[in-house]
């Protein structure tokens, strides 16, 4: 059944239809066919194709020719990054991250995805623990971090392929971590099976991290939480992931997920 939307449409129908298409794609679990978008939203198919072409030209959507479907593009992630930089997630997450660091006795941080990078928006350093590179405002390659892997594992595989199409897409820091699309697929498969992401020296030698995704109201990755500790501390990753999961669920509640 078509999505009727507001009872009174704005005076700029093309802008209204464009935003409705983006909102529709954001709620899907994977890319959608143009015909599905047209029938669900009640927008003529010819208009849908014109609008999708314009959105693709600006990077907001991606066309997957083999599937004949459309998904969100990297520019849409930049919008999410812009939202995060305006502080709502940081404001809501800061007290939770501080409490998490106190309970775990390890440094905790909150990050969002922006393109292929993660952007750290909150960090709480635990007492007597080394300073981390994951300071507020720092960007790191998402495929190397626990927070990035936790978020990437929840994305449709087609979007991960669009972000990491070949070996040139993979940055390196310590010589560890995936360096090709197939290796990243294996890492993300393990994350989905385990329920949380791990990282061991891929960002900084001698440090380990565990990360858990924070989902928005539509089930998409809004952010990720992580705990980091020195290798010689010999912490149980699963136990720390359980603490992260409790905090992630509370942050999800605060940002409107039910």
- What are the strands, taking DSSP E only, across 68-106? 69-72
Taking residues 44-64, report their average pLDDT.
93
Asked whether residue 3 is assigned to any structural domain, the reply reads no
Phi, psi (degrees; rounded to nearest 5) at 257? -85, 135
Residue 52 shares a structural domain with residue 104: no
**Domain CATH code at residue 34:** 1.10.10.10
Residue 67 shares a structural domain with residue 192: no
Residue 100 shares a structural domain with residue 64: no
Q: Residue 83: how many CA atoms within 13 Å on its side-chain side?
A: 14
pLDDT of residue 74 exceeding 90, the answer is: no
Asked whether residue 204 is assigned to any structural domain, the reply reads yes
Tokens 């501390």, residue located: 233
Containing structural domain, residue 55 = 13-72
**Number of domains the chain is built from:** 2
Which of 50, 72, 94 terminates a domain? The answer is 72
Q: How far apart are CA 210 and CA 1, in angstroms?
A: 42
Asked whether residue 6 is assigned to any structural domain, the reply reads no
Residue 118 shares a structural domain with residue 240: yes
Tokens 């360096």, residue located: 179
pTM of the predicted protein model: 0.68
Residue 49 shares a structural domain with residue 135: no
Residue 164 shares a structural domain with residue 238: yes
Query: What pLDDT, in 10s, does the model give residues 23-37?
Result: 899 888 889 999 999
Band the pLDDT of 3: cuts 50, 70, 90: low
Q: How far apart are CA 6 and CA 17, in angstroms?
A: 12
Asked whether residue 8 is assigned to any structural domain, the reply reads no
């Amino acid at each position: 059944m078509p999505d009727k939307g507001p009872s009174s449409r704005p005076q700029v129908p093309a802008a209204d239809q464009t935003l409705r298409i983006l909102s529709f794609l954001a709620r899907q679990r994977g890319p959608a066919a143009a015909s599905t978008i047209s029938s669900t939203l009640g927008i003529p198919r010819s208009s849908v194709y014109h609008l999708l072409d314009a959105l693709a030209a600006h990077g907001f959507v991606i066309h997957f020719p083999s599937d004949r479907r459309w998904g969100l593009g990297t520019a849409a992630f930049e919008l999410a990054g812009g939202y995060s930089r305006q502080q709502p997630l940081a404001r809501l997450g800061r007290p939770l991250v501080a409490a998490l660091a106190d309970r775990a006795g390890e440094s905790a941080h909150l990050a969002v995805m922006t393109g292929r990078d993660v952007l750290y928006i909150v960090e709480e350093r635990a007492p007597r623990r080394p300073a981390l590179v994951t300071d507020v405002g720092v960007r790191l390659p998402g495929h190397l971090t626990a927070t990035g892997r936790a978020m990437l594992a929840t994305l449709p595989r087609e979007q991960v392929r669009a972000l990491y199409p070949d070996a040139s897409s993979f940055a390196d820091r310590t010589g560890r971590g995936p360096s090709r699309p197939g290796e990243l697929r294996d890492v993300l498969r393990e994350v989905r099976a385990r329920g949380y992401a791990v990282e061991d020296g891929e960002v900084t030698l001698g440090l380990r991290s565990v990360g858990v995704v924070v989902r928005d109201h539509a089930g998409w990755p809004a952010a990720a939480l992580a705990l980091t500790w020195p290798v010689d501390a010999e912490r149980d990753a699963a136990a720390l992931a359980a603490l992260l999961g409790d905090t992630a669920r509370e942050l999800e509640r605060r940002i409107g997920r039910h």
